[in-house]
Amino acid sequence: MSHTNALWLQCGACGGCSMSLLGYEGTNLLDAFDSAGLHFLWHPTLSETSGRPVIDLMIDIVSGKTKLDVLIVEGTPLLGPNGTGRYQMMGGSEKPMITWLIELAHKAKYCVAVGSCAAYGGIPMAGDERLEATGLQYQSNQVGGLLGEDYRSGSGLPVINIPGCAPHPDWIVETLSCLADESLSAQDFDPEGRPLAYFGHLAHHGCPRNEYYEFKASAAEDSDQGCLMENLGCKGTQALGDCNIRPWNGSGSCLQGGYSCIACTMPGFEDPGSPFLETAKIAGIPVGLPSDMPKAWFVALAALSKSATPQRVRENAHSDKIVHQPTRKKATN
């Protein structure tokens, strides 16, 4: 079987996407790549090579001497200062990282942005704009980014975005494996270039607190069992991702751990306009309502749901543990 050559580069990033990748729970990670026919020319964590040999490798790719099938970018491309990109130089070379990215992207059959930083700009876009941060083909929710709206890789596809801070390792491994197998086409992605297999869901789907959400039995404090949307900033009804369907680390998710969804898979999550764990409201109504529900419907449904909330659900919602078990119907003769 012929190999699919992949190159993984890091820009302005914490390295969290690579750390997530290392938590892959299928077969051994390297064996998973081998079985898919993926050959990493270089990865900043997995590879032993560093320094000049890496620069020579990239020169060979740009010159056409070495084939590049998949360019994978983690972290935020930095355009600063003043569009020069010199805030992040590629170590051992005279060129900024953004120059390498542009040259390599036009040699790649596929270009993949791993994590919300590479996809949309992410955390480095928050607050101070001196970094001039951007995503590969988006800047927050605006198409363009480093490579421009019209960029297409050798396959004819725009940048493939696997957002998340950090993305689930399955999202990364499975997408790369499918690219190696050439089993993905344009209809397998949403309009923003995200694989529908993972981002055709909301984080709300499979949420362990769905019963509380349905009755609008809301938590008031961090340790409460109730729904986190109304008061504690949860955006699971707006965020794309199968986070609560596909467990992390065997069984977990943010909400399983009692932490609100901060919509880390969505552009602009880094600057929500309010503290992450507080729900912004106008006249007592959350500003961020479910993505496909009109405000009037939500208000009416919330009022009806609260009026029908069982006492068990109401009291459990404001406790740090289950204090009332579900009622058991008596057997009838």
SS3 at position 184:
coil
Q: Running DSSP on this structure, what letter comes out for residue 72?
A: E
Q: In order along the chain (333 residues), what is the average pLDDT of each group of 10 residues?
A: 90 93 89 94 93 95 97 97 94 93 98 98 89 96 97 98 97 97 95 96 94 92 93 94 90 90 95 88 82 76 82 87 82 65
The whole-number pLDDT of residue 189 equals 97
- The CA distance from 229 to 237, in Å, is 8
Distance CA 299, CA 290 (A): 11
The C-alpha atoms of residue 333 and residue 327 are separated, in whole angstroms, by 19
Number of H helices, E strands in the chain: 10, 9
Q: What is the pLDDT of residue 300?
A: 79
pTM: 0.91
Side-chain half-sphere exposure of 324, counting CA atoms within 13 A: 12
Could you give the CA distance from residue 188 to residue 195 in angstroms, rounded to a whole number?
6
Identify the pLDDT of residue 1. 52
Cβ(71)–Cβ(104) below 8 Å: yes
Q: What is the pLDDT of residue 72?
A: 98
Cβ-count burial 76-90 (b if 16+ within 10 Å, e if not) = bbbbbeeeebebbeb
